[in-house]
Amino acid sequence: MKLNKGYFVTATDTGIGKTYVSAFLYKAVKKYEGAYYKPVQSGCIEKNGRLTASDIDFVCSFNNEKYDFSKGTYFLKEEVSPHLAAEIENIEINFEKIKKYWENLKIKYKTIIVEGAGGVYVPLIRDRYFIYDLIKDLNIPVILVCSTKIGAVNHALLTINFLKNTGIKIHGIVFNRVSENIKNFEKDNIEIILKTGEIKKYLIIKENQKNISEDEILKFLDIEINLEENNE
């Protein structure tokens, strides 16, 4: 079995569908000793005396699992950017703590779907540490989630260009919430983003789509499954 140690799911904006995409990706890899990890989540809700991360909650529910606190490191209550939530709650986000958690996950699992917060320039520590810094420190390729709506080309290409200039590898793109009957301008947006951004691997998830074949996701992730090994 050929597995990458991990993939970092980020997006061109907040609310594009990182968590939805992450849930699909995790569903495909978990049977091959894959994991899901959300290092930092703001906007958590208190349940039974503990802060619960909505993204982790969704991914677990989507995959018919009980909520698992071990899928996250920092749980912040304020529904604002992580750096501001941490400041308000007097919590210091420390990469060394995330790194230690990450190293333990790599020992336990063969591949990990890591979900970021917002886009690549979202600060985790004011003026000092951003999502793109976290990606570089984890040293895993990016899966970029973007839309196909009007304005998507600019958002996608700016992000792609920034990642490349920062030395971060882009594994591929997931076009999320594409119209069920794909419109001409959406097709054109996809074509421009892939060609101009020089991206070869991509997935299309349509509006209200509930399932993607495991084979399609594994192919997108470049995961090669040895059938004999899988049947042991």
- How many angstroms separate the CA atoms of 69 and 53, rounded? 8
What is the CA 136 to chain-centroid distance, rounded? 14
Q: Under CATH, to which class is 6-230 assigned? A: alpha beta
- Whose tokens are 């989630």? That residue is 145
- How many angstroms separate the CA atoms of 154 and 216, rounded? 27
Query: How much is the mean pLDDT over the chain?
Result: 94
116-134 pLDDT per residue, tens: 999 999 999 999 999 999 9
- How many angstroms separate the CA atoms of 110 and 84, rounded? 33
Domain extents in the chain? 6-230
199 DSSP assignment: -
Decide if pLDDT at 230 tops 70.
Answer: no
- How many angstroms separate the CA atoms of 32 and 36, rounded? 12
Q: How many other C-beta atoms can be found within 10 angstroms of the C-beta atom of residue 91?
A: 14
Catalytic positions are: 38
